[in-house]
Structure 1
Amino acid sequence: MRTYLLLLLSSLGGVSQSLPLDLGVTGGIPMSETLRTYQYSGRFGGFQSESATRRYVAGGTVGARLNASLSLKVGVLYRRFGYDYDAWGLPVPLQFTHFRGTGASWEMPILMKWSVVHRRSLAPYVALGATYRRLASLNEIQTLYNNLSLTNPQPVRESSSDQPDLLKNRNAIAPTAVAGLEFRVRRMFLAPEIRYTRWHTDTLGGFGDPIRWNWQRVDFLFGIGFSLGRH
């Protein structure tokens, strides 16, 4: 790992001699649900679910300024998520299973950024590109409850898995669009933005499941960083 870090730092130093680089950290909050939840009750059973959206996103970015208006940005974003749902197999749930899952989403957006109006201190911008996502650190705890009394369910058995049945695919790629403002003071910059990502495949949950990954993702992000190379 130390060797990789040294190689990365040396390569960044070499690139910064030819192209100006922007290095920064990013934080923000999701403006949409990470997971959609559903409930169903029928003659032969049902389920009821809820999602716990962790209210933060964090990561970092590297940008290479190609000219006064265009730059290429590569970033890494990290977010946590969680879910709970109960599933039963009879109209009256004499037994039911409670599922509680947690996990993390690692995302790598690659964006081409265009400054709409280029000024030295203020530049509104838009960006288009794609985001690669991988789900990690998945853990689901399944607890079977005896509910014969109908009022005071008692746990009977518990198990856990890092490959929950709801997992369809750990990896996904989606188009991404961004709109924001960039404020610059010497080599430092601040960049609030709205980011929209449109997933188009199920990775966790799907049609007919208690939960389903939200295909429409909107985030408010705030970046802060500094420039290397020519200014």
Structure 2
Amino acid sequence: MERPSDEAETTPRLVRSLADDNVRAVSVHAGDAHSACVDEDGTLYVWGSNRYNQLGLGGKENHPRGGDAFVTTPTTVPRLPRVGSFACGGSFSVAANRHGAGLKSWGANGSGELGEGHDAGNESRAAPRAVDTSSVKGSADFVRVSAGWRHAAAIATDGGVYTWGWGGSAGQHHDDAFSTGGQLCLGVDNDFWEPFPVPDFTRRGDGGRRLLAAKDVSCGFNHTVVLVDDGAG
């Protein structure tokens, strides 16, 4: 809300600094305690809680408001390529670069939601880092991303869907009823620490045509929805 206060707002308010700078937002996003928008040039602005480095501003060592602080004014993320698609997760963020330079992620990583692989460890990341896309078939780039509490999903240019992060097996939320699994659509409730192809979107029928091709994807807290191109036009 871009106000130096912890009071709740009950009515919509203009984010004044964006308006004053003539920023034309084309998408807006919200996580558990952080918010973001992307402008028409692909520049990402972030604000809100940075407790888990979910703003991607580099941490305390090179940003005075890093760590467990709040950023009350929209701030650009340094050294981030132009964004084509973006999502706020619970306490992490993920971006698909506009010109096919892969995926970037930052913030909390307790269940592999940053997609960097097991070797990267589970510490939070204060600045954007590349997602491990070695499992991607061919040379497809990503055109859509979405994020839930601790999982994420992305659509490749060829319509393939990839998911990673919290699979529901660990019961890490305060209420185990939320940890039912299935949100990765990979047939098990394990956590996946790098993007993995969802089988129904990688199988091919006669002539090599993909059986299902995704157009859009949206992650809820512990579920995922995909809009499918049925070829009807």
Q: Flag whether TM exceeds 0.5 (same fold).
A: no
More strand by share: 1
Q: State the structure with bigger RCO (CA 8 A, min sep 6), 1 or 2.
A: 1
TM-score by length of 2: 0.28
TM-score by length of 1: 0.28
